[in-house]
Structure 1
């Protein structure tokens, strides 16, 4: 007959073993939903961007989460509810600033909106990365906020490449319309400046209007522009969603094939449109790689390794000549690029 004390000791041992098993299992499980990675050690990283309904920002999130999984780091990525939702974005930053994060990455809506919610982060000497869109250096300095690094594409160069590609697609010159993003947003300003530099004296820009990086807005704006300027031969859209809206407006007007369109970002729908011939090309800025770089930079900072003050993410023109390679590799760059954070390609 089994001793009752022995049976009790067996039950205690079994419970202890089960608790150990559950603890080991939960250590490898997701810490939560909404963009957090599986992680058990290393720096905790918070990234806040604009709007996940825009595939560009969703790709940045996905790149950050992929790198988090690769390195076993705790990363959360959050966003506002729209491209212009500075209030929602600031609320996310403020909530995360009150938690125990070791590094922050932020993509602002404009050049000043994120500064105030970042003040508590800066006061704790937590490193901050300025991602994708430049934050005002003067306003940041006045608020006591500094940045460990800026990680983003060269938007001036993107605009220049777009201008050169559009002129080639148009056959040299003609009347052009430009769809800007959010009024006053620095990336759009830089893209327009680069485009203007590349095309000055070679094409006639007959109209420049904002369409808020929104596809439906771009469709409406482009339809109006085509009626007001029937001689338009080319359209430069400062991002792909606007480019797709412009392409639909051109199709609706019965002018497919007669008007060339170049946009910026390199999202999947734009790559497919290039393959289908409704877009002449897109300047891919690889937000997936940018998200990876953000996590790599935070990991380096936590390990006291150097991070360059400015990291230029890769950009490349994708047109009919290379779109199949781009689609096959998406969301990763299909060509090697220098990564100064990791010291490799």
Structure 2
């Protein structure tokens, strides 16, 4: 009988210890899961193109802040293709991102991608270029209208009223191209002779070929405003090959462009601070995911870079 009682107490003790062990294991697993949830912030970033130094610098700024804050940042390159960007966004949604940063190829076409993220319950922040449709919680960019106006005012100062002027436009449909062009025209309309305005898609090689065509049609062009530095640098190649001395103003203040300004080859470029835009974009994403309120538009300072 005593042996039976002893065996009974041993079994009870073993059951109690086993239950405690299981509870402890469950608690540890719950704590681990909770820690994983708290640290597993995943942000997708669809960039219009990484074949442009401006957006490479912008992405580097975004990466730096992500690494500092333990954010998993997934960057995809749309390669200046609106259809690819839409497909990239669908892939990011399937990967379970918590928030989408998007730098649109085309501000109108990107609406469907933004709406796909909206339907999946994923908040969206636009970067540098806006979206014409879909729900966006914040837009991070420089004031492109103000930047275009800044360029126009300086061109007018250098070339004078009545000068024959050309403009190289960016990707049709992008907010940056629309806004920079609008600001420039606001500054010079009725004061200069705008002999030609054509798209070169924010691309250096296209800037070269379009400028060559412009010079053939209008050999008396005195000044050029290019809506980004890549097109401006292409235009400079065409102008140099033609043996002409023409005022060229760009936009973005990329390293190559600033060097040309310092050399006196390029008159000016509007500094848009891409690294800062990338940093602020991720900082804004983190704030929102932490439950903090964010501004609908977060402007990034502009400045005109000249040799002086």
TM-score (structure 2 length as normaliser)? 0.84
Pairwise CA distance, 1:285: 1.1
Pairwise CA distance, 1:171: 4.5
Map residues 28-177 of structure 1 onto 2, 5 A cutoff: 41=39, 43-81=41-79, 83=80, 85-137=81-133, 140=134, 146-177=135-166
What is aligned with 1:224?
213
C-alpha distance in 2, partners of 1:113/1:65? 26
Pairwise CA distance, 1:112: 2.9
Pairwise CA distance, 1:117: 3.2
**Structure 1 pair 120/212, CA: closer, same or farther in 2 (3 Å)?**
closer
Q: Deviations over 1:123-182 (max 9, x none)?
A: 232211022112113xx2xxxxx1111111111111100101112232555110111112
Structure 2 residue runs of 5 or longer lacking an equivalent are: 1-37
What is aligned with 2:301?
314
C-alpha distance in 2, partners of 1:303/1:117? 24
Structure 1 residue runs of 5 or longer lacking an equivalent are: 1-39, 141-145, 322-345
Pairwise CA distance, 1:269: 0.8
What is aligned with 2:6?
none
What is aligned with 1:251?
240
Contact 1:180 1:210 in 2 (8 A): yes
C-alpha distance in 1, partners of 2:116/2:232? 39
Report the secondary structure of 1:194's partner residue.
helix
TM-score (structure 1 length as normaliser)? 0.75
C-alpha distance in 1, partners of 2:160/2:267? 12
1:201 aligns with 2:190: yes
Pairwise CA distance, 1:78: 1.4
Q: Which of the pair has more CA radius of gyration?
A: 2
What is aligned with 1:283?
270
Pairwise CA distance, 1:210: 0.8
Bigger drift between 312-321 and 171-180 goes to 171-180
C-alpha distance in 2, partners of 1:210/1:174? 21
What is aligned with 1:236?
225
Report the secondary structure of 2:172's partner residue.
coil
**Structure 1 pair 65/268, CA: closer, same or farther in 2 (3 Å)?**
same
Would you say how many aligned residue pairs link Structure 1 and Structure 2? 271
Pairwise CA distance, 1:275: 1.1
